[in-house]
Amino acid sequence: MDLPVINHKDYFAKIGDDHKFPINKFGELAEYLVSKKIVKKFHLPYPCSEETLSRAHSKSYIKNVKNKTLDQNIIKKIGFPLIDSVIQRSLIATGGTVLAAKLAINYGLACNTAGGSHHANFESGAGYCVFNDVAVASQYLLDRGLAGKVLILDLDVHQGNGNSDIFRDNRNVFTFSMHSKSNYPAKKSISDLDVELEDNMEDKQYLNILKYYLNQLNQENFDYVFYIAGVDIHFNDRLGKLKISDEGVRERDELVTENFFSKGIPLCGVLGGGYNKDFKKLVELHSFLHQSCVKLF
């Protein structure tokens, strides 16, 4: 049995090579996964339907994205131009996480090669996030009775404030965010459990804190996990304030995936952020999520 991994060529939106967001990484990651024989063949997603999106976003926000009538301030907050390829990318990457979420139920594990747009909230996008794929997919599972108690385990260096906001009053979704205290957003939201890390934290301390909280989370009876595996915790990241090594990122991904897989709790892995100064390294770091899942298969 092969690990289900989702990819689509439209994950790569044409925002220009000089854009601050390393959009090329989605195409490069797909090539890397195939060339290293980590993945043989990708599952292809469909663009997320409006009905599915509307369980985590307001109808007016979805309409304004699709019709390109979003307020200029919101477009600025998102940081991408509102053009066809960005809209298509946002819809299909969200569809990809929904598909991965479904496949993880049958396979135990499944991963998208995009996703983790955790700054988007009900009414608005922000911080390179248009639609909140993990929130949409969580609602999708809950609505169909495919999950009852969802954990969103967010280990991106930035706080998952979109998920914290969307699920603030939802007792069926537990939001956990372990992030750098001094990174974006300056004003943090309130997750069910926030762990704020000091600048320059290194592997040993980071992994010890993670192990402690994984043990805590294991006391709850979650029946589904979304894992946002942002690699902007790496020491050479342009944005992240932590100092985690290659091996630290790898160990983190292995710890998380093994922890839930061994307990038979389905896990859907999504990319999250990564802005490494070294582009080749960035692609390799993102592949650790898929590698650690393949190892368990």
CA angle 226, 232, 238 (to 5 degrees): 155
Is 232 one of the binding residues for Zn ion (CB under 5 A)? yes
The interface region with Zn ion, picked from 7-15, 56-64, 148-156, 218-226 by CB under 5 A, is 148-156
- For residue 209, which amino acid is it? I
Is 158 one of the binding residues for Zn ion (CB under 5 A)? yes
Tokens describing residue 181: 């205290």
Shortest Å distance, C-beta 105 to Zn ion: 27
Comparing every residue's Cβ against Zn ion, the nearest one is 273
Going by the DSSP 8-state scheme, the letter that residue 237 receives in this structure is B
Q: What is the 3-state secondary structure (H, E, C) of 259-276?
A: HHHCCCCCEEEECCCCCE
Q: How far apart are CA 30 and CA 90, in angstroms?
A: 17
Shortest Å distance, C-beta 54 to Zn ion: 26
- Binding-site size for Zn ion (CB under 5 A) equals 5
Comparing CB distances to Zn ion, the nearer of 96 and 116 is 116
Shortest Å distance, C-beta 282 to Zn ion: 12
**x-or-dash string of contact with Zn ion, 257-276, rule CB under 5 A:** ----------------x---
Comparing CB distances to Zn ion, the nearer of 104 and 270 is 270
Ramachandran area for residue 68 (φ above 0: left; ψ -120 to 50: alpha; else beta): left
Is 230 one of the binding residues for Zn ion (CB under 5 A)? yes
Q: How many CB atoms lie within 10 A of CB 183?
A: 23
Is 156 one of the binding residues for Zn ion (CB under 5 A)? yes
Shortest Å distance, C-beta 154 to Zn ion: 9
Q: What is the 3-state secondary structure (H, E, C) of 4-61?
A: CEECCHHHCCCCCCCCCCCCCHHHHHHHHHHHCCCCCCCECCCCCCHHHHCCCCCHHH
Is 234 one of the binding residues for Zn ion (CB under 5 A)? no
User: By the criterion CB under 5 A, which residues form the site for Zn ion?
Assistant: 156, 158, 230, 232, 273
